[in-house]
Chains A and B, each alone.
Chain A
Amino acid sequence: MSPIIARDLTKTFGAFTAVDRLNLEVRQGEIFGFLGANGAGKTTALRMLTGLLKPSAGTAEVAGIDVSRHPNRVKQRIGYMSQKFSLYEDLTVRENIRLYGGIYGLKPAEIRVKTEQVLRELELTDLQNALARALPLGWKQKLAFSTAMLHDPAIVFLDEPTSGVDPLARRQFWELIYAAAGRGVTLMVTTHYMEEAEYCARVSIMADGRIAALDTPARLKARFGVGTMDEIFRAIRNA
């Protein structure tokens, strides 16, 4: 069954409808791009899917679990990385990894193994005792991603993971995403870098709380008769 399913997912805040009957299904092992302008409802939708926010109506099923009814059960199965915060700034790199290992319930031996693994893969061994806040942004994001993956979740949600990161680190980050997808992980990513939409198998574009378009980048470009994702975005906004 599909790892992520939203059926008529809705969230209202008083008179304002932030997410209006969202319907989507993300396939196993897919990199799914969740796009939309600020205020279109992306973050709200993402929060509902990760169990952080209770839907006003509709259902969200992640890893087969009804998220609104059992938000805690789903947390063991998913990884979540938010743009604003994922690492504790006043803990060292090593301490952060160990912390998340503990939080996700890994046994001490596993944590040790994973710590070395992550440090090696990200080439952070020399910096393992540096405070997280001293790391350049790109490295922080890569580390945050790795900690979100420590417990080998089958599904990962990434909220604007590359905002403000330098062009090199940004691409290296996406290669981590590709590698994870290659291992069968399902990833849902939000971003406002239009070119990153191209890295996704399928993308959805949200506007005013609804999905305005959902398809592969190639088919979307064909449908709108344009050459870049940027133009699609503009077309939708001007519609």
Chain B
Amino acid sequence: MFPFLKKEFLHILRDRRTLMILFGMPVAQVLLFGFVLNNEIKDAPIAVLDPAGDYASVTLTNKLVASGYFHIETRLGDAGAIEPEFRKGRIRMALVFPPDFGRALAHEGYATVQLIGDAGDPNTANALINYAQAIIADYQTAYNQGTGAPVGITASTRMQYNPEQKAVFNFVPGVMTMILMLIAAMMTSITLAREKELGTMEVLLVSPLRPIQILLGKTIPYLLLSMLNAVIVVLLGIFVFGMPMRGSVALLAAECFLYMFVSLALGIFISTRAKDQMTAMFFSALGLLMPTMLLSGFIFPRESMPWVLQKIGMAIPATWFNPIIKGIMIKGVGLEALATQTMVLGGMAVFLLALSLKNFKDRL
């Protein structure tokens, strides 16, 4: 028994990959999770609609701003101006006072403030609303000190684009993004590696096929299959989970296509570097699954991550596609609002393909 134990230790210590998993991964995970799980949000842009602008409403607004969680992006003139601000993605929350907030508090002893969150980003919206509610409760307590009759301030909340507050808006788009990417990337990541492992790569290389032909030949079938996948996933999202489809179908299809292409290019890139299928799968899981889950804003809001992680998150395609899919399906926006994200994805696609080509060794 004992010599066998010793042998196992020797094997493990001499295998770099195992060491990486044993030590590297837990450390990385603890660090990542530690930072990412910090749910605090800072400096979220909000719009304020305050018709009366009286002492109470202004004080409350200032208190909210002073907390550091919010900053006033714009002051609105009427309720109709709220939705366009959400649409443009300029605000995360709208704070709406009734016209007689101060007077209602003083004379009737209660008033209602409305907090409207952006269901396009449900996690953030919930967090912001919770902060706001806490601050308002605080304000209420402070207000009530030193007065005879306590007043009550109610915060009524509403989710723009998701008035029924359906939970699915929270995670179905994120899941869709992840699934589409994972399948596309993982499938292609093993394809080149498999040829290398089986030995068929040798014979392919010696043939007149040029690297770009081999690469495209590998990508295109998966692209078509992934589009099919995308259709299925979207349909499931709509019909089984009740996701709305408020935007243009054509735009969604086009953006999905672009996103698939980026994912495939990512997979191919991994494939050009991996020696065999196991390595390819390993790097897909490590290099794609984990960062996408943690850093793309799918589960944990990006705003609450340290600057470093936010920046790293920008390199992940899912980070850019999430707002696109939510924007189109939940908010019904058009290309103008998503121009930045689309261009970034386009750039990534070209970059990854070029990189894969460059990395493709036409020798063993």
Contacts and interface: CB of A to CB of B under 8 A. Distances in A.
Physical contact A–B (CB less than 8 Å): yes
Contacts of B15: 90
Nearest to B3: A102
B73 to A, nearest CB: 60
Interface string B14-25: 110000000000
B109 to A, nearest CB: 79
A34 B214 CA distance: 48
A181 interface: no
Interface residues of A, number: 9
Interface stretch (B4-12, B130-138, B240-248, B311-319): B4-12
B11 A88 contact: yes
B11 A102 contact: no
B239 interface: no
9 contacts: A88-B7, A88-B11, A90-B10, A95-B7, A95-B10, A98-B3, A99-B6, A101-B3, A102-B6
Interface in A86-105: 88, 90-91, 95, 98-99, 101-103
Interface string B127-146: 00000000000000000000
Contacts of B2: 102
Interface centre among A88, A95, A102 (most CB of B within 10 A): A102
Contacts of A95: 7, 10
Interface in A30-54: none
Interface string A59-103: 000000000000000000000000000001011000100110111
A98 B4 CA distance: 10
A99 B11 contact: no
A98 B3 CA distance: 8
Nearest to A100: B3
Contacts, number: 23
B11 A90 contact: yes
Nearest to A106: B3
A69 to B, nearest CB: 24
Nearest to A92: B10
A91 B6 CA distance: 11
B28 to A, nearest CB: 26
A4 B218 CA distance: 56
A85 to B, nearest CB: 14
Interface of A: 88, 90-91, 95, 98-99, 101-103
Nearest to B5: A102
B214 to A, nearest CB: 32
Contacts of A99: 3-4, 6-7
A191 B215 CA distance: 45
A99 B8 CA distance: 11
B14 A90 contact: yes
Interface centre among B2, B3, B11, B15 (most CB of A within 10 A): B3
B4 to A, nearest CB: 7
A83 B11 CA distance: 21
A106 to B, nearest CB: 10
B4 A102 contact: yes
A90 B6 CA distance: 13
B10 A91 contact: yes
Contacts of B3: 98-99, 101-103
A145 B3 CA distance: 19
A101 B3 CA distance: 8
A8 B307 CA distance: 75
Nearest to B4: A103
Contacts of A101: 3
A133 B10 CA distance: 15
Contacts of A88: 7, 11
A18 B6 CA distance: 38
B10 to A, nearest CB: 6
A91 B15 CA distance: 11
What are the 6 closest A-B residue pairs judged by CB atoms, nearest first? A102-B3, A90-B14, A99-B7, A99-B3, A103-B3, A91-B10
A156 B84 CA distance: 85
Interface centre among B7, B11, B14 (most CB of A within 10 A): B7
Nearest to A102: B3
Contacts of A98: 3
A43 B341 CA distance: 62
Nearest to B15: A90
A99 B4 CA distance: 7
A88 B14 CA distance: 12
A184 B4 CA distance: 30
A102 B6 CA distance: 10
